[in-house]
Chain A
Amino acid sequence: MITARARLRVVQDRIAALRRAVLTEVEDINRLIYHILRGGVVVSVAFLLFGFILAGLTGLPLPDHSTPPRSLGPLLVQFTPAGFLNLGVLVLIFTPVARVLLSLLSFAEERDRAYVLMTAIVLTNLLISVVLLA
């Protein structure tokens, strides 16, 4: 009778440990996605505010068209409002893409083939639509 009770307790402990493990895993990926999305927006807003402050201090004009990433370097080095406003916008555009990449990694880590496949399809489709529309 005592051994049966002890065994039951062992089983219960194992179930509880398993449940904790599952919960922390879910919690981890949720926290990580939260930090990526939130971080992306906050960093973007910081660059944008800095751009506006630069415009106020230097009197340089605000930009009215986007600068492709490869020509952005010189604008940033010279501390122009255009450089930092463009950078802020770019950081924001890439935030959701970073989130999808993170999902891909987390599904791969869980060895969840169906979801790895689906995430890969989404990324491929995004690439195709960029090529199609450009």
Chain B
Amino acid sequence: MATVEVLLLLAVAAFLAGLAGSYLGIGGGVFLIPFMTLALGMPIKVAIAVSLIGVIATSSGAASVYVRDHLTNLRLAMFLEVGTTFGAIAGAVVGILVPNVYLFLTFGVVVLYAAASMVRVAETAKDRAYRGGEGERPLVKRLNLSSVYFDQEDQGVYRYRVDRPGAGFGASAAAGVFSGLLGVGGGFIKVPAMNVLMHVPVKAAVATSNFMIGVTAAASAFIYYSQGLVDPSLAAMVIIGVFTGTNLGTRLLVRSKAADVRFLFAIFLTGLGVAMAARALGLFGGVL
């Protein structure tokens, strides 16, 4: 049984994970798993199980607010979830066939490239605006993926066109592979895929990613739960902490400047990319 100190530390960490997760459109598993294994010395299986619960809490808590505020693109989410769930199934197979080293190295490079693109290419109100139906791919038109969102930053309603549905679908499948392997939400792939590849405004991308990650995490979480691997006391502290964190994070996002969100996301991706590459190359004793 965990001590009171451990429970309280975990709640604080979960609060921060929920805050960052809801602001960046990720589940927060990439923060929680290393914290639980490295700082609290828990076994990796316990950490993954509890982190999956945290991902669901971040997703549900944050997504509810973003859906209400019309930031989330519900159709795009459903379209990409098809890719993600296929990817999650493939992940079980890929994990056996391909050594983790190559996976980490590939994702490290991809994530660093995405970070560079997010900093280099500016997102302005003018870029986001377009006239309805103009230059849409047939699939985007058929599935009615383009949407509008309300930006509190400048009180503007922006209509945006979704580009490259095929590439976005593929990237979501890759995110599914990763979440199947590691017990994370995969938001760190979905947000750049939507923002950089599909040209979805960053706030809408964050909201839509947050909306999606809970579904894939729920399937894995249920498996861990039914096998008795979820520690309900730790999970409870994580849920309570994350819930409090998302209440703050969602409020911050809707008011933030799009450029700031992209910059912070790029910093996050850079750290993650370096950590992944380091893990693949066996640097720092492979602790990251």
* Contact yes or no, A86 B82, CB < 8 A: no
Given contacts A33-B67, A129-B219, contact A93 B53 (CB under 8 A): yes
Q: Does B165 contact A (CB under 8 A)?
A: no
Chain B residues positioned under 8 Å from A44 (CB to CB): 57, 239
* Contact yes or no, B57 A41, CB < 8 A: yes
Chain B residues positioned under 8 Å from A125 (CB to CB): 82, 85-86, 88-89
Report the Cα distance A119→B212, complex, angstroms.
Answer: 12
B70 shortest CB reach to chain A, Å = 7
Q: Does B75 contact A (CB under 8 A)?
A: yes
> Which listed residue, A31, A114, A129, touches B68 by the CB 8 Å rule?
A31
Question: Which residue of the partner chain A has the closest CB to B218?
Answer: A96
* Contact yes or no, A45 B240, CB < 8 A: yes
Q: Give the segment of B100-108, B226-234, B265-273 that binds chain A.
A: B226-234
Please report the number of residue pairs spanning A and B whose Cβ atoms sit closer than 8 angstroms.
171
Q: Does A15 contact B (CB under 8 A)?
A: no
**Which B residues between 129 and 156 are near A, CB-CB below 8 angstroms?**
142-143
**Which A residues between 55 and 90 are near B, CB-CB below 8 angstroms?**
61-69, 82, 85-86, 88-90
B185 shortest CB reach to chain A, Å = 11
Q: Does A30 contact B (CB under 8 A)?
A: yes
Chain B residues positioned under 8 Å from A66 (CB to CB): 224-232
B259 shortest CB reach to chain A, Å = 27
* Contact yes or no, B236 A119, CB < 8 A: no
Report the Cα distance A115→B119, complex, angstroms.
Answer: 34
> Which listed residue, A41, A93, A103, A115, touches B222 by the CB 8 Å rule?
A93
* Contact yes or no, A89 B53, CB < 8 A: yes
B interface secondary structure, majority: helix
B206 shortest CB reach to chain A, Å = 16
Chain A residues positioned under 8 Å from B64 (CB to CB): 33-38, 41
* Contact yes or no, B143 A96, CB < 8 A: no
Given contacts A44-B239, A48-B239, A132-B92, contact A96 B225 (CB under 8 A): no
Chain B residues positioned under 8 Å from A11 (CB to CB): none
Chain A residues positioned under 8 Å from B75 (CB to CB): 115
Chain B interface size range: 35 or more
A75 shortest CB reach to chain B, Å = 11
B187 shortest CB reach to chain A, Å = 14
* Contact yes or no, A86 B56, CB < 8 A: no
* Contact yes or no, B79 A118, CB < 8 A: yes
Report the Cα distance A67→B217, complex, angstroms.
Answer: 19
Chain B residues positioned under 8 Å from A85 (CB to CB): 232-233, 235-236
Q: Does B81 contact A (CB under 8 A)?
A: yes
A53 shortest CB reach to chain B, Å = 12
Given contacts A38-B64, A126-B85, A132-B92, contact A95 B240 (CB under 8 A): no
* Contact yes or no, A52 B236, CB < 8 A: yes
Contact with A along B41-81 (1 / 0, CB 8 A): 00000000000010011011101110110100011001101
Q: Does A121 contact B (CB under 8 A)?
A: yes
B215 shortest CB reach to chain A, Å = 5
* Contact yes or no, A122 B82, CB < 8 A: yes
**Which B residues between 202 and 248 are near A, CB-CB below 8 angstroms?**
214-215, 217-233, 235-236, 239-240, 243
Report the Cα distance A128→B86, complex, angstroms.
Answer: 10
Question: Which 8 pairs, one residue from A and one from B, show the smallest C-beta to C-beta distance?
Answer: A125-B85, A37-B64, A96-B214, A85-B232, A66-B230, A38-B64, A62-B233, A34-B68
A64-B232, A115-B75, A133-B220 are known; give 12 further A-B pairs, CB within 8 A.
A30-B68, A41-B243, A65-B228, A65-B229, A68-B228, A96-B218, A118-B79, A122-B78, A126-B219, A130-B219, A134-B226, A134-B227
Q: List 5 A-B contacts (CB under 8 A).
A: A30-B70, A33-B64, A38-B61, A107-B78, A129-B220
